[in-house]
Structures are given as structure tokens and as C-alpha cells.
Amino acid sequence: MHPLQLVGYALAGTLLSALVAWVPALHVYNVAGLIILVTLRWPGAIPTDGLAMLMLGLVTGYATLNTIPSVFLAAPDESTIFIVLPSQKYLMQRRGYEATVLTGLGGLGGIACLLALAPFAGRVFSVLRSILQPHLHWILALIIAYMLLSEWPKGSDRAPTAWGRLWDGWRSLLAGIATFLLSGLLGFVILYRSVVPLEMAFQNLMPAFVGLFAIPWVLTNLLSGTQVPPQHIARSVDVSPVLAIRGVAAGVLGGLFAAFFPVVTGGIGGFLAGQATAQRDDRLFLLSQGAAKVVYYVGGLLLWFVPGLHLTRGGMASMLSGLYTPYTPQTYWTAVGAMALSGALAFFLLLILARGAVALVGRVDYRWLSAGTLVLLIVLVVGLTGWGGLLVATAATGIGLLPVLWHSRRMNCMGVLLLPITLNMAGLGPVIAGWLGLL
């Protein structure tokens, strides 16, 4: 196909992502899987290279626009879970629109950095892959250890007894470890004994992520009876160029880390980068997380387009790799150009849709929005994965509520992927699965 036609497919994917962004917790990979199913049923409906570009535009738009439900409806996924707490603070201060724009600016900065790195991607990542590939299992194990160790004991030191103060300090840490282990156990069950229908196997993780991340937030909104104040649409954001560069740089660092290493998501990469750069400012945090999730989603797919590399990272590249393989430098540079245009379009769509979200939360009671979101989540889970998927989502919700109730990090819910896959890489996964009676 002509490069301009391919760019057209990418921009169409970006426009489609604007519709997806309005559906809370509907992940881009779920939509992509359904599109691929349709194209397999009607071969030739979309050329394979056009399909790849459509997915590139879809994932670029989603990585920018999924900020909207995370800020205004509090229905996060694994890539936006870290954005939620600062953005909710902004929302209750009438600054939800500003939080959305800050995150979007971070994403736009991430696109610019990917564009600057594009000429060097093939050489740099080929060397990194050859060096790091044999060591991925213990690197992931170190990431897990750091995640758990950084869940430092918390407490007010106000309990009347020594045992009370000890429990007050360590309960959040113990809850974090329990969350990680229980979600890891759920991951083993999903991986080795999935209850999702075979024809919907590509949606295997969807009910778990909905239960771990989205439903607990919605239930919290319903039980707390949160009243969202009227939102102010700012004409500018309170961030200097130096602060913006710092936030974007940290986010790009975390996003590239997540895009290159398997299983590590943009949220985890952004968290590690934030720790490494000692971020304490909410503005820095929102900028860096916006950059991290865009670089994670888009950069992970762009690595698949690199000639001679074809690094399959993330769900989108995995789904496309069985249908099409980009070989030529022309295809790669077309993808880079399409990414830049799609990123710019997605940012302008974000400004428009965020205004619509401000109007929505201003006119509709937040509890009704939360109740509608909960119903929609259940319908999506049952519709895409059946009653078995609803069972998984229910179990995952119980695990996802532990951090809410005990004030530990929700990042520990990523044990659903990190634990089984790390153990599989180390050759221990089947042994553990056998002990659990899953084989």
C-alpha cells in the first residue's frame, strides 16, 4: 500500500480510540482482539499492512485518551493506576481538566522522544537484547523484590501498646505482600487452567484486570458517596519548561524500560523511574506517568516495526505478529510518521473529550456514573469472557480490595503477571503449577 494510505489507516485507528476511551476499563487489547477476529472471519476486508497501521493508531490514541476515564470516572487499568491518586486530588480541587492535560502533555512529550530515538532504535535495542536476554528472569525477580521492599512500614505511632504500634506499622506491608502472592496465585490459575472460552482466549486476562483495578475503585466511589465539585477548565497549566522536561524525561526512562522488558507495564516502569529520579511533585508525577504509558504502549509496538529487530513486546505486537511481519525500512519510517501524526491528533482529541467529561460529571451524580460504570464492567466481562470470566473478575475484586482497605500499593496486584511469568522464565513455573494441582 502507498504510505499515505497507511497513514490514513493509523489516523482512523486514532479516531476509533476516541470512542473506546469513553468506555471505562475497556482495554485497547480487547478491542484489537475483536477487530482481528473480524478480519480473520472476512479475509481481505482490511489489508494486513493496513491492519497493522490501524492498530498503531488505535494504541497511540488509547495511550493518550484512556486518561479521561481514569481521572473522571476512576476506572483505571494497569497502566493508569498510578495516575489515579494525584488526579483524584486534582479532581476534588476542581482541577480534573488540568490533571488530564498534564498527563496528555507528558504523553505528547513521550511521542516526541520516540520520534527522536527512532533513527537509533535498531542498533541500540539489538545490542541490549543480545546482552540482557539470558538474564531477564533474575532482573524481573529483582523488580519484584524492589516493589515489595519499597512498601515500607507505615503507621501513626498512636496505638496505646507496643504490639498495637507494631501492627499499625506493618499491616500495610503485610497486605501488600498478601496482595502480590494472591494475585500471583490467580495468575497461575489463569495461565494453566483458564475458565475463559477457548475462542475468546485472547481476552484471558481481561476479567482479572477489571477485577483487580477497575471494580475496587468503582465500589469505593459507591460506598463513599463522593460528590465531585464543579470543575474549572483552565486556560493554562502550572508547569515550567524545566519541570516539564524533568517529568517527561523520567517517564520516557520508565516507559522504555517497560517497553523493552516483558511483563513490566508502563505503570511499573513509571514508578521505578519516579523512584530513581526522586519525584515528589504531583505535576512531575502526572507528566511522567503520561509519558511512561505512551512510551510503553506505543514504543513497545514500534519496536516490532524495527527492521531486523521485530521485538515482540506487549499484547498488540503479539496479536499482530501471527498475521503480518514488517520487513522494510520504508514500513518502519511510515510507522514512525504515523505515530507522530496520531499522537498529535490524540492530544487535540484529549482536549475536546476532557471538556465533555467535565460537562458529564457536572450534570450527572458521581454515584450514578459509578453505578453505570459497574454495570458496564460486568456486561463487558460476561459478554467477552462468559460466566467463567465473571468468576475470575469476582475473585480478582476480592484481591484488588486489599490495597483499598489496608492502604498498600495497588501496584502489587501486578503479581498476576509478574509472579507466574518470572517463574516460567526461570524454569520453575511448571513445578509450582504441579504443586498447586494445576497440571
Q: Which whole-number Å values give the CA distances from 76 to 26, 191, 218, 232, in the listed order?
A: 10, 23, 10, 22
**Neighbouring C-beta atoms of residue 53, cutoff 10 Å:** 31
Length of the chain: 439
Residue 153 banded pLDDT, cuts 50, 70, 90: low
Q: Are 432 and 186 in contact (CB under 8 A)?
A: no
pLDDT top residue among 154 and 86: 86
Q: Are 212 and 416 in contact (CB under 8 A)?
A: yes
> What does the pLDDT average to over 82-107?
82
Give the residue among 248, 359, 330 at the shortest CA–CA distance from 293. Answer: 248
Q: Please name the residue ranges forming H helices in 407-437.
A: 415-425, 429-435
Q: Name the packing angle between helices 282-294 and 81-92 (round to 10°).
A: 140
> What does the pLDDT average to over 99-127?
91
Give the pLDDT confidence score for residue 432 in this predicted structure: 92
Give the pLDDT confidence score for residue 310 in this predicted structure: 74
Residue-wise pLDDT for 362-397, tens only, equals 788 778 888 888 898 899 889 888 899 999 999 999
> What does the pLDDT average to over 263-291?
76
- Please say if the pLDDT value at position 280 is more than 70: no
Average pLDDT, the chain: 85
Give the pLDDT confidence score for residue 277 in this predicted structure: 62
Strands (E), 123-252: none
Task: Give the integer Cα–Cα distance in Å for 362 and 261.
Answer: 41
C-alpha R_g of the chain: 21
Residue type present at position 400: G
- Please say if the pLDDT value at position 417 is more than 70: yes
Instruction: Kindly state the cell numbers that stand for 14.
Output: 486514532
Q: Which whole-number Å values give the CA distances from 54 to 338, 368, 376, in the listed order?
A: 10, 34, 26
Instruction: Kindly state the cell numbers that stand for 293.
Output: 504509558
